[in-house]
Amino acid sequence: MINVAKQLTNGAIPMGAVLTRQFIYDTVVDAGGAPYNIELPHGYTYSGHPVACAAAMASLDILEQEKLVARVAELSPYFEQGVHSLKGMPFINDIRNLGFAAGFTIESYPGEPARRPFELAMKLLEKGFYVRYGGDTLQLGIPFTTEKSEIDALINAMQDTLMDAHGMKKTG
């Protein structure tokens, strides 16, 4: 089962879905007894509001018309190269990515695993980059319309921020 939400409408309006293979759906329905007993609790995000459904369809149309999935597939290696160029930088313990998403495990202060990612994210925000933080990680999820120059600017800002936080000077 896969739970999806914000990406369906590009964050424009609450919409979500649960995707399953047919055999999982059949198992839930078959085990549920009478049809009126089968209900998965959900709120507004998952209630199938017509406006949210229209927004989701429009987002999917744009993804297809503007060939954004192919664009991300083409630019992902460039993004991956940039992300992994930060290996060995101060405070970076691990880097992983898929497509236009990346996560960095950040070396924590003793007893305060969430503090350094927060501090780095706030420094990046001051430089104009929103980087999500949580626990001991920094997380990137860049827009499908991102250009190479924007990837470069983000990676450079991250490098500068990491070096500044470590008291290092950039050379070259």
Ordered by where they begin, the domains of the chain are 2-65 (no CATH), 68-165 (3.90.1150.10)
Residue 45 confidence (pLDDT) = 60
Q: How far apart are CA 80 and CA 131, in angstroms?
A: 16
Q: How far apart are CA 109 and CA 114, in angstroms?
A: 8
Task: Output the CA angle 94-96-100, nearest 5 degrees.
Answer: 145
User: Quick check: 171 pLDDT over 70?
Assistant: no
What does the pLDDT look like over 99-152, one tens digit per residue?
A: 999 999 999 999 998 999 999 999 999 999 999 999 999 999 999 999 999 999
